[in-house]
Every structure is written in structure tokens, then in C-alpha cells.
Amino acid sequence: MAIAAAKKAPNPTDRHIGARVRMRRKMLAMSQTQLADALGITYQQVQKNESGTNRIGASRLQQISRILQVPVAFFFEGGADVSAPRGVHGSALSIAQIDDFVTSSEGLRLIGAFMRVHNADLRRKIVMLVQEIAGDDGNWKPKRTGATDRFATQARRNKPIGRRVERR
């Protein structure tokens, strides 16, 4: 009688690195096939790398960082800190949960559209609308897990990207 091998769940770090690869690839409007061709692998291997099913080796990660034009450290930023205390269900969002949203296709579409809104007053109203829909009181702060995300901090400091059109 044959015993079926139990499926092993992807390591959280591998999933995080894969999600960051996917996020950066989508930010550059690059397809999985384009990344695969640049790496000399199949698009299926890129899919498995991005899902965390296949672990990305150090030399491959360095190659990916050159293609995606980011430092290798970018892929580790915002990752779960295994030594950090875990919050109870329903607690404030963690950096990892935020990262999961930001790397999703919905998150990327929302961020891209929001960044194209250049009117600061309108942006504030959009945030207030979403907070109202979500039942948020506006005092939300992310739960820190010990990791800091340099790119999120940088994004908060920078002005909107694109051409600013003044209304009269």
C-alpha cells in the first residue's frame, strides 16, 4: 500500500520573498513570462517562486534584484519577525498583513489609481470615504512586528508621482 506524501506548506519567509518579487514585477508592468525569459527559466517556475512553493536561491535572488532594479534587501523588508509576539485575532493589522494587501492585484490597482489623484483635498476625502465604509474611526495605526519597511516610510514622505495639474 502506497503512502501519499503530505503536502508541505510554503515557509512564511519564502512566501514573503515571493510576494515581494510579484509586487515589484507588477510595479514595473512586467509579465511572468518576461521575468522568466530574463532569468532563463519557465514562467511556471516564476509562479512557484512567487507563491513560495519553490524557494529562491541566493544567486537567483541576486539575479532577480538586478532585473527588477531593487537591492536584494528589498525582498526581505516587512517580513514576519519570528521572534515578535503574535497578536490575538481581531487585533490591529500587522506589517505582514499590510504587505499581503499591497502585493495583491487589488492592492496594486488601488494604490496605482490613488497615486494618480493629485488633488490633496480629494485624496483626504477618498480616505475618509473608505474609512466610513470600513467603520474605521481614523485613529488606525499599524501593529509593529519589529520589522520596518523603508519603502513605506519613503512613500509617506514623498509627494505624489506624476504631473500636478492646478485647478483654478
> What's the pLDDT tens digit per position in 112-135?
888 899 998 998 999 889 888 888
Which pTM value belongs to this model? 0.54
Res. 168: pLDDT tops 80: no
pLDDT of residue 34 exceeding 50, the answer is: yes
Question: In the predicted model, is pLDDT for residue 92 greater than 70?
Answer: no
Under the banding of pLDDT at 50, 70 and 90, the label for residue 99 is: confident
* CA dihedral for 88, 93, 94, 100, sign (positive or negative): positive
> What does the mean pLDDT of the chain come to?
76
The residue count of the chain comes to: 168
- Average pLDDT (76-94) is 56
What sign has the CA pseudo-torsion 57, 80, 51, 113?
negative
Q: Is 29 left (phi over 0), alpha (psi -120 to 50) or beta?
A: left
For the cut 90, the answer to whether the pLDDT of residue 62 exceeds it is yes
Summarised one tens digit per residue, pLDDT across range 13-23 is: 899 899 999 99
Mean pLDDT in residue range 139-143: 54
Q: What domains does the chain contain, in order, with CATH numbers?
A: 9-76 (1.10.260.40), 87-168 (no CATH)
Q: Residue 35, Cβ neighbours under 10 Å: how many?
A: 23
Residue 143: helix, strand or coil by DSSP?
A: strand
Q: Who's near 114: CB < 8 A, 6+ residues apart?
A: 123, 126
Burial status of residue 30 (CB atoms within 10 A of its CB: 0-12, 13-18, 19 or more): middle
3-class DSSP state of 94: strand
**Is the pLDDT score of 5 beyond 80?**
no
61-70, 72-81, 85-94, 156-165: which has the highest mean pLDDT?
61-70
